[in-house]
């Protein structure tokens, strides 16, 4: 196998590894939100335990990226491919950490029914965040700059819902101090989901850099 063919094969394997990790992260986000809505402590525990596998996979793929750069010494677009892989990996790993944060909030809220009125917005934010992750990975696989740029609209929607949740929870705490603990945890959860969306836009930015060489902020 020629050096070029060997390098292309390594890049293709890197992309598949990243997609495998992304699938685990998407599932973790979904499971974390569902465990919160259902106050499913066992489900939350599974999210927390599953993060160890994601962390191990992250380190394994990151090591492959570093070795690829060190041994092949790529230049120009080939180097951007490797750097983009590392950027996407880091964003995915941070998303998984926020899924764990949501699961831990569920643990703290267990044993009592959720009574705050804006709870329905949490699954909505979760669905949007998951869609952003999916769109970012689709853009990555297809080199689709337009799709990467369109992620701004979903990020704006998540930000809008987060601001609405923040206002309603703060007002609710002022009106009924008994809801302070629940409201505080849900504030954290909504913030975690907003951060997941931000990390998804980072994937979009990485795709734009990969395809065009431009560094552009989508947030």
What does the pLDDT read at residue 66? 87
Whole-number Å distance between alpha carbons of 8 and 81: 11
The per-residue pLDDT for 79 is: 83
The pTM of the full predicted model, rounded to 2 decimals, is 0.93
Q: How far apart are CA 171 and CA 213, in angstroms?
A: 45
Q: What architecture does CATH give domain 3-212?
A: Up-down Bundle (1.20)
Which is nearest to 32 in space by CA: 116, 142, 111, 107?
107
The pLDDT assigned to 8 comes to: 79
For the chain, residues with pLDDT lower than 70 are 1-4, 218
Q: What tokens were used for 207?
A: 């795709």
Q: What pLDDT was estimated at residue 101?
A: 98
Residue 176: which residues within 8 A CB-CB, separation 6 or more? none
Task: Please give the span between the terminal C-alpha atoms of the chain, in angstroms, as a whole number.
Answer: 43
What pLDDT score was predicted for residue 53? 95
**Would you state the pLDDT for residue 88?**
96
Q: What is the pLDDT of residue 4?
A: 65
Domain boundaries, the chain: 3-212
- Give the up-direction half-sphere exposure of residue 218: CA atoms within 13 A in the CB hemisphere: 28
């Amino acid at each position: 196998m020629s050096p070029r063919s060997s390098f292309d094969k390594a890049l293709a394997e890197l992309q598949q590894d990243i997609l495998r990790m992304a699938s685990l992260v998407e599932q973790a986000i979904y499971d974390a939100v569902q465990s919160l809505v259902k106050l499913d402590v066992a489900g939350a525990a599974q999210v927390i335990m599953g993060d160890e596998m994601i962390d191990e996979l992250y380190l394994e793929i990151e090591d492959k990226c570093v070795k690829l750069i060190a041994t092949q010494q790529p230049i120009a677009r080939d180097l951007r491919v490797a750097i983009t892989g590392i950027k996407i990996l880091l964003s995915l790993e941070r998303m998984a950490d926020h899924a764990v944060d949501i699961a831990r909030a569920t643990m703290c809220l267990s044993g009592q029914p959720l009574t705050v009125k804006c709870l329905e917005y949490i699954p909505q934010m979760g669905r949007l965040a998951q869609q952003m992750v999916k769109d970012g990975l689709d853009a990555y696989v297809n080199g689709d700059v337009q799709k990467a740029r369109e992620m701004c609209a979903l990020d704006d929607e998540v930000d809008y819902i987060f601001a609405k949740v923040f206002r309603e929870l703060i007002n609710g705490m002022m009106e009924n101090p008994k809801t302070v603990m629940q409201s505080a945890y849900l504030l954290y959860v909504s913030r975690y989901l907003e951060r997941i969306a931000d990390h998804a836009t980072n994937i979009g930015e990485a795709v734009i850099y990969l395809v065009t060489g431009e560094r552009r902020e989508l947030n």
